[in-house]
Chains A and B, each alone.
Chain A
Amino acid sequence: MYSKDFYFSVLLFCAALLISACAVNSQNFSEKNADTKMKKAAEHPIEMGNKDCSECHSEMTPDLYKEWEKSMHGLAMVKCQVCHGSQDNFVVATPNETCRGCHPGEYSHNPKPEKNCSSCHLEHSFVYHK
């Protein structure tokens, strides 16, 4: 009946429509669920200024901070920004490549490379927990 090309174009066109429709749908949904502040992927909730992370976090998240201080990272002075970055490159979930910097052996022999290191080495004590 119609040419192969026609079907192909229709398929593509409709698929595109479908995708954009779904995107709009889910965006609406996400917006409802994620409050009105639509964050960019990985952004520190407030302006950091020139402050050291510990200046706020020792008071804002004291339990977390104490946990870090007592951990091997705390003793070795691996501070917040080493794993979480600064204002422009802030990440909440530290990617495994960051851990690789000081733990290259573990990174290359990781039994669960598809998982984030912190899923077993719990932040911020870094104790291994299955």
Chain B
Amino acid sequence: MNVTRRNFIKLSAAAATAASVGINFPKNAKAREVIDKWVKGACRFCGTGCGVYVGVKNGKAVAIKGNPDAKTNFGFLCVKGFLAYKVMYHPDRLKYPMIRQNDGNFKRVSWDKALDHVADKFRYLQNKYSKDSVAYYGSGQCMTEESYTFNKLWKGGFRSNMVEGNPRLCMASAVGGYVTTFGSDEPVGSYADIEKSKCIFLVGSNTSECHPIIFRRVMRHKLNNPDVKIIVCEPRKTNTAKIADLWLPVDPGTDLAVFHSMAREIIKNNWHNEDFIKNNARITDGKNTYDFKKYADFVDQFTPEKVEKLTRCPAENIKKAAEWFANSGATYTMWTMGLNQRIRGVWANNLMHNLHLITGNIAKPGADSFSLTGQPNACGGVRETGSLCHLLPGTKPVANDMWRSYVEKAWEIPEGTIDAKPGFHTIKMFDNLGGENNPDKPIKGMLTSTTNPAQSLPNLNKYLKGMEDAFLVVLDIFPTRTTQLADVVLPAAFIYEKGGVYGCSERRSQLTEKCVNPPGEAKPDIWIAAQLAKRMGLEKIIPWSDDDSMTANEKAWTDYITVTKDTEHTLWGAKYDRLKKEPAGLQWPCPSLDHPGTYKRYVRGMDPMFNHDGFKKLFNKEIPSDEKIYFYMDKKGEGKANIFLRPYAGPAETPSAEYPFYLTTGRVIEQWHTGTMTMRVPEIARAHPNGYLEIHPDDAKKYNITSGDMIKITSKRGTNILPAVIVENSMPGILFVPWFDQHIDRMINFVCNDAVDKGSKQPEFKIAAVKIERISGPKNVADRYVIENINSEFPGV
């Protein structure tokens, strides 16, 4: 008997013995490796872009582990990614296409019937009303190939720019910031700068819970290099601040003053980098250019003492932050929604970039002004493919005649097909969505995928009726608040059931290969899009209707990288075969098969666009050969970035006599967005079975609130009832509610503000003025509430 068999027999004997008397038997790795194959992919959640391997056994996903070769996470995962696969086999998975009947209930139908119904209805609406009467609302969680396909179908096929996506709600201001400051979207550097930095500034981000694996890298860097300074600027002192050397508390919406004040301190103390500013930047207000003195004079009014009065951020802290920021040698800033979900989100982004430009903390190792993306594929799938109402693939505007014409040629459609006029941004789109009987609502139909607007839009009360009245087609994997308002529900495949590319915050595209088949009759979005195109006579536009999702994906991807191959976003070197082999994906610009991808943009020797003839010819770019750092997307063609003179502006709503509190919203590590997936995973649901209201002890005392009491929270727009959690996290006067709970009483977006940034059109989720009222003692609301029944109704709609 050979050794292995002998060992196996002994192991079985021991295991059986242990089991018979209830002793926990730790599994022996060698004898019990049960995985058939490990398939490379990306994590389903957050913009970090962790690399994973999905363990498949007998055609089922049974395990996930991190990819140790991935340059984002180095093998680590957070609890969400770690348990993602459990979501795939949940009994609530939607498996069959359904059409809502007259009695209000859904009836299962065949795919043919469902697709015919949708195609017919879309065609009817487009013919009767206008080509813009049917909209697409996508998601930063769809695969790049899917978003690209729907975008092409709508803009190239229907000739309609009514294409939007939920990144409008999270990243639009960051896009606005990058485009106005540098001329091009997305960061200059990469996560790799973390380990090279000397000072890390975390602002408007609860990194420890929202980008846990990035936080882990920051934490490790600090533990290994105690001299590295960590500054956190946030209204809440979250778990992130545990590793901070300095916390800058700041009233919601007032941080622009803090950034101006930091700039003032830097200039006053002569800590700014005059040479860098002279060579690489200009001072502008968006219209005119000024000299540096004008900027210095402008920020001079923002003395730390004055700003302390305005923001409650201690003057000493501002001064210290400015000193560390300017003098560290390499400062790296990261932010997310705290700066983006604001009516002055673009300005907040500009001011962050300003600080980096005036101190020369950009385009060098360890230094960058880095926007953390919230969703796994907002960058790759929506921003880069131009799946927003005003863009085309390559992130160039539809209004740009040259680019429109170029794309038309690439798509082989007649010149003039693509509409030059942008469509409606998200809030405007939903504001104009309604029934056929409502002449004020020009958008009569909508197809939405992988997002849950009936819970994720701010000021929900305003938009629910429109969704209910319109012809709403929803692609999703579970029943949600949005399927409750849908007319047609199409069961979607999950990422590991279809495969595709995700592009994360650091410009890195990673391919997930299909691991297993979807359940029931669920289908990938890309197949659904192709089928609709076929039925609407647009098969030429979407010639990839293959049943095999990876085949269709590859065709769509090839189409996409062909169109964008001479742009600064080029992924021409990231052909599918290569992406399959690359252990860590590829960062654009990646112009050729032998190019390793780009760690840092705008630096000669690191950025291939300096020598990219196709790019320079197409866009008439001349890059002087002696320039080491050159912002070649500068609209003025001078290779300079813009240091913006932005006035101070506060939030849309500030506390008043009637609404005396600030409400801010956010996330917790376990729950993702509206909890449709994570609330269905037992380990995760247990950590946070319900939404809650964080309140400062001083405020709780004033209102006679003790822990667990039920509180009614009200804004001008709506109300919630939540249990109180008394913590000293925030400053007094600031309340916090996480937004993952689907329960009708605890969907905080009923309360949130839909006022939008004038430039980016991104809503101000982060700030609302509210009042509170204690309505009762504690109630058990640890529901782990999920919408299980597809036929359940949306209360009150």
Contacts from A to B (Cβ < 8 Å): 23, 26-27, 30, 34, 38-42, 48-53, 75-79, 81-82, 85-89, 91-93, 95-97, 100-105, 107, 110, 113-114, 116
Contact = CB atoms under 8 A, between A and B. Distances in A.
Contact of A81 (B63, B67, B78, B687): B687
A89 B684 CA distance: 13
B21 A27 contact: yes
Contacts of A78: 79
B66 A77 contact: no
Contacts of A114: 28-30
B686 A51 contact: yes
B684 to A, nearest CB: 8
Contacts of A23: 20
B276 interface: no
Contact of A107 (B28, B29, B219, B239): B29
B614 interface: no
Given A96-B29, A101-B82, A76 B24 contact: no
Contact of A101 (B19, B66, B242): B66
Nearest to B81: A101
Interface of B: 18-30, 53, 63-68, 75-79, 82, 208-209, 212, 215-216, 219, 239, 242-243, 669-670, 682-689, 782-784
Contact of A93 (B26, B689, B784): B26
Nearest to A29: B21
A85 to B, nearest CB: 6
Contacts of B682: 85-89
A41 B75 CA distance: 31
B63 to A, nearest CB: 7
B19 A77 contact: no
A23 B66 CA distance: 42
Given A77-B209, A88-B682, A104 B26 contact: no
A37 to B, nearest CB: 10
A100 B782 CA distance: 31
Given A38-B22, A39-B22, A102-B75, A82 B215 contact: no
Nearest to B27: A95
5 contacts: A30-B21, A52-B687, A81-B684, A103-B76, A107-B65
B212 A104 contact: no
Contact of B24 (A92, A96, A113): A92
Contacts of A95: 26-27
Nearest to A95: B27
B572 to A, nearest CB: 32
Contacts of B20: 23, 27
B686 A76 contact: no
A50 B780 CA distance: 10
Contacts of A107: 29, 65
A105 B75 contact: yes
A53 B686 CA distance: 8
A48 B682 CA distance: 12
Which of A41, A97, A110 has most B Cβ within 10 Å?
A97
B689 A50 contact: yes
Q: Is the interface of A mostly helix, strand, loop or mixed?
A: loop
Nearest to A116: B26
Contacts of B24: 41-42, 91-93
B25 to A, nearest CB: 8
A49 B782 CA distance: 9
Contacts of A42: 24
B655 to A, nearest CB: 31
A97 B25 CA distance: 13
Given A76-B215, A92-B24, A81 B65 contact: no
A93 B25 CA distance: 8
Contacts of A103: 66, 75-76
Nearest to B38: A104
A96 B27 contact: yes
For the complex of A and B, the 8 pairs showing the least CB-CB separation, nearest first, are A86-B682, A50-B782, A105-B68, A81-B683, A104-B65, A116-B26, A113-B29, A50-B689
Which of B29, B68, B688 has most A Cβ within 10 Å?
B29
A93 B688 CA distance: 24
Contacts of B65: 100-102, 104, 107
B669 A77 contact: yes
Which of A48, A51, A78, A102 has most B Cβ within 10 Å?
A102
A11 B209 CA distance: 63
A51 B780 CA distance: 11
Contacts of B684: 81
Which of B68, B78, B687 has most A Cβ within 10 Å?
B687
Nearest to B681: A86
Contacts of B216: 76
Contacts of A93: 24, 26
Contacts of A50: 685-686, 689, 782-784
Contact of B29 (A27, A88, A110): A110
Which of A39, A96, A105 has most B Cβ within 10 Å?
A105
A51 B212 contact: no
A101 B77 contact: yes
A89 B26 CA distance: 14
Contacts of B67: 104
